[in-house]
Structure 1
Amino acid sequence: MLGLAKSVFLFLSGTLFILGMLGNGFIAVVNVRSWFKSKRISWSDFIISALALSRIVLLSILLADSVIVVFFVIVYIYGSSGDIIHVFWTFTNHLSIWLATCLGVLYCLKIASFSHPTFLWLKWRVSRVVVWMLLGALLFSCGSAVSLSPQFQIYFLLRETVGTGNVTEHLRKQMGEYQQIYVLNLLWYTPPLILCLASYILLILSLGRHMQQMRQSRSSPSDASTEAHRRAIRIILSFLFLFLFYFLAFLVTSSSNFLPSREMTKFIGQLTTMLYLAGHSFILILGNNKLKQTFVELLCCECGHLKPGSKGPLAP
């Protein structure tokens, strides 16, 4: 049964890896090509491109981790490969979460409308806010990776002690220290989670209030502007739901050592994480006019309804 579970896990990991690489690779290629053509790039396109590239790296790390867990589990547990993957995963995952947070803050400051002085001050300095957030993202990501060192040291001592069969009070004390350090390392994810939740909630409230005002001022409740606001709210809600879903999957995966059915828990959490990394890229494509237009034109070319280089029905 476990062999079947590993086979299914490996198949699903490979499928999600391919889908994620296609979606995130498409985003990166389109935005980078546009950047080279126009010699400039907007903050939103820059963050989305960086987010896509970080997720390509994340998917590659997860696929490598899946192969090692299935075929070389002893090396993974007692060797250094698991620690190396953990360091790269922590840095890239933290950077990806911060980039998603920066995108939410940017959308909030660009689109939302509030009269609070602090919000207006940030809105007028949106470029500076984004620059400092990106620098902070790199700093926090490096800090989260470096903070793994004490956790690795205690985990190494635990492996050595368990290997000798000497289960003593000292071992239980070390296990308690390991759990404490693990919980403290999770605190690195608190700032981006709070900022992301706050920005998306403020954006939803602002769009909802604006849509209600348009309903009251217009005779037709289903005009194009109202539908556009509804679509924006649905996309933002999907962003928020998937982000929370991803964070939960990350907690499950990283906490698999403390949960029953350790191997199955890790499989489920890792597949859920890859599902988010792949699925969110296609939501980004559908929510961005330039990416969506290019994607539709590419599909039309593949289906033979549009000649390469010609203008599609969505082209300006």
Structure 2
Amino acid sequence: QNKTYLLIKLWIAMIIIVFGCLGNTFIILVFSLEYRTSWTLQPYELIVMLMAVCNLGMELGYTAFFILYLLDLCTYTGETVYKIIHFFTIFLPKTVIWLTACLCFAYCVKIVKVNCRIFMRLKQRLSLAVNCMMIGTLLLTILLSFPVILFIKFKMNSTKICRDYYTVNEEKELIFIYTSLLSFLTSFLPLVLMLVSSLCIVIFLCQHSRYMDKNITPTSTSRSDAHSSVAIMLLCLIALFIACAGTALSVNLQIASGQFDVQVAIALSTIIYSSGSPVILLIGTVKLRNSFSKLLSPNKRNQ
């Protein structure tokens, strides 16, 4: 029964991963073709494309993790491979979280109109600001993900080598500090940025709804609808993130106390986010939605 249960969990994880790989690959192809045609991408498009690349790498990394972890095959690959896999399964998800926060911020700067000199300069130099944020995100997540390899050490006398590999007994307090810091810097802070940015967008749209109603033109109406769809998309991403991050936070604390079996829960919550976010982005982004509709409709594809 235990083996059957593990195979069921592995099968469920693989289905979610395949679904996510298809969605993220589609996003990468759409924006790659867009860049090949115009040799430029909008700041938010660049963020979404990098999110899709990280999601795709994350899903491939978790494919190896689930196979090694659930089927107890880590002894065949060695400790070094296990460390590399764990590094990427922390680095890539945390990068995606911060990129989601950057996406919310970029849309906030693009949509919200404020008579502030600093804000106006930021709006004019949004591409540069986004590039700096993405570089900073990569450096921060690499720095925070690297220490995990120092805590991994196989215990060859253990009956569960692939699951009992953290040096909890020797470095329990240090691991608790690390997981707490990791949760704060890669879950709480980006969540604050997401909420503030999305709240600013929603408040701006509400304040200008009356003005848009009084000055109804095809251009203003379509622009209002586009902004509303962006706000809904960001709120859906935040809701999905909160649901997955809530699971990750509780599991991180349990891992720090030595309960390793719940790692499957954090892995599943991570791949659910990486597979669910492309669907939300596809529905909320006009260019992705139009490309998907052309893919499904032969008549639109020939136009």
Equivalent residue, structure 1, for 2:204: 206
Higher mean C-alpha displacement, 119-128 vs 138-147: 119-128
Shift in Å, 1:288: 1.5
Name the CA shift for 1:146/1:184 in 2 (closer, same or farther; >3 Å). same
What is the alpha-carbon distance in structure 1 between the residues aligned to residue 183 and residue 215 of structure 2?
A: 48
SS of corresponding position for 1:147 = helix
Report the alpha carbon displacement of residue 185 of structure 1 after superposing the two structures with TM. Answer: 3.4
State the AA in 2 paired with 1:270.
Answer: A
**Structure 2 counterpart of 1:70, which letter?**
L
TM-score (norm 1): 0.79
**What amino acid is aligned across from residue 195 of structure 2 in structure 1?**
L
Q: CA RMSD in A?
A: 3.1
1: distance between equivalents of 2:16 and 2:45? 24
Correspondence 1:244-263 to 2 at 5 A: 244-258=242-256, 262-263=260-261
Structure 2 alignment gaps of length 5 or more: 160-167
| Whole-angstrom CA distance in 2 between matches of 1:300 and 1:38 | 24
**Secondary structure of 2:85's match?**
helix
Which residue is 1:276 aligned to? 273
Contact 2:244 2:270 in 1 (8 A): yes
2:208 counterpart SS class: helix
CA contact (8 A) 2:86 2:149 kept: no
- Residue 287, structure 1, aligned to residue 279, structure 2: no
- The number of residue pairs the alignment matches comes to 290
Mapping for residues 1-316 of structure 1, pairs under 5 Å: 1-72=1-72, 75=75, 79-148=79-148, 150=150, 152=151, 156=153, 174-189=171-186, 190-215=188-213, 217=214, 228-258=226-256, 262-263=260-261, 265-301=262-298, 306=299, 309-311=301-303
- The 1:5/1:251 distance shift into structure 2, 3 A limit, reads farther
Q: Which moved more, 1:42-51 or 1:26-35?
A: 42-51
* Deviation, structure 1 residue 205: 1.9
Q: Provide the rounded CA distance (Å) in 2 between the counterparts of 1:239 and 1:209.
A: 23
CA gap of 1:125–1:69, structure 2 versus 1, over 3 A, is: same
Alpha-carbon distance between aligned partners in 2 of 1:241 and 1:107, rounded to the nearest angstrom: 17
Aligned in 2, Cα 1:172/1:36: closer, same or farther, shift over 3 Å? closer
Q: Give the conservation status (yes or no) of the 8 Å contact 1:12–1:271.
A: no
Q: Which residue identity is paired with 2:232?
A: R
Q: Any conservation in 1 of the 2:230–2:285 contact (CA below 8 Å)?
A: no
| Residue identity (%) | 23
Whether the aligned pair in 1 keeps the contact of 2:176 and 2:253 (CA below 8 Å) is no
| 2:164 equivalent in structure 1 | none
- Asked if the contact 1:246/1:276 (under 8 Å) is kept, the reply is yes
Distance 1:310 1:75, change over 3 A: same
SS of 2:297 mapped into structure 1: helix
C-alpha distance 105-58 of structure 1, shift in aligned 2 (>3 A): same
| Rounded Cα–Cα distance in structure 2 between residues aligned with 1:207 and 1:232 | 11
Asked if the contact 1:114/1:206 (under 8 Å) is kept, the reply is no
Question: One-letter code of the match for 2:71?
Answer: F
Is the 8 Å Cα contact of residues 249 and 270 (structure 1) preserved in structure 2? Answer: no
Which position in structure 1 is the counterpart of 2:165? none
Tell me: CA distance 1:181–1:293, structure 2 relative to 1, closer, same or farther (3 Å): closer
Q: Tell me, which stretches of 5 or more residues in structure 1 are unaligned?
A: 164-170, 312-316
Equivalent-residue separation in structure 2 for 1:275 and 1:185 (angstroms): 20
* SS in structure 1 of the partner of residue 133 of structure 2: helix
Measured in 2, the distance between the counterparts of 1:271 and 1:99 equals 20
Partners of 1:249 and 1:273 within 8 A in 2: no
Q: Per-residue deviation at 1:271?
A: 1.9
CA deviation profile, 1:69-106 (whole Å, cap 9, x unmatched) = 11116649x94443221112222222222222221111
| 2:114 aligned counterpart, secondary structure | coil
| 3-state SS in 2 of match to 1:130 | helix
Using the TM superposition, give the Cα deviation of residue 237 of structure 1 relative to its aligned residue in structure 2, in angstroms. 1.4
Distance 1:90 1:148 in 2: 8
Q: Which moved more, 1:198-207 or 1:227-236?
A: 227-236
Post-superposition shift, 1:256?
4.5
Q: Distance in 2 between matches of 1:162 and 1:4?
A: 23
